[in-house]
Amino acid sequence: MSSLRSLYLRWCCQVQDFGLQHLFGMRSLRLLSLAGCPLLTTTGLSGLIQLHELEELELTNCPGATAELFKYYSQHLPHCMVIE
């Protein structure tokens, strides 16, 4: 899975912050969709800044995605398009 470039987990009610930690080592990941995942928190989502090569991050309808988090992403993932 280390060469995985796109991962769609949208509307997955089983994804939690602990599960996100497994993604942090996926250095080749370019596109990640977590839209509609209700159990993710701002704290868990903030760890995604470890994915330096991320180009697109979809967080539509994700309750843990706050305005502060989007600002944090703009500072730490400047080349990533974050879809609110």
Where is 58: in which H helix or E strand? strand 56-58
Angle formed at CA 45 by CA 13 and CA 49, multiple of 5 degrees: 140
Dump pLDDT digits (tens) for 32-68. Answer: 999 999 999 999 999 999 999 999 999 999 999 999 9
Nearest to 50 by CA among 82, 18, 76: 76
Exposure on the CB side of residue 54, measured as CA atoms within 13 A: 26
Domain boundaries in the chain? 4-80
- What's the pTM? 0.93
Dump pLDDT digits (tens) for 55-65. Answer: 999 999 999 99
Domain covering 4-80 in this structure, CATH number: 3.80.10.10
Is pLDDT at 1 greater than 70 in this prediction?
Answer: no
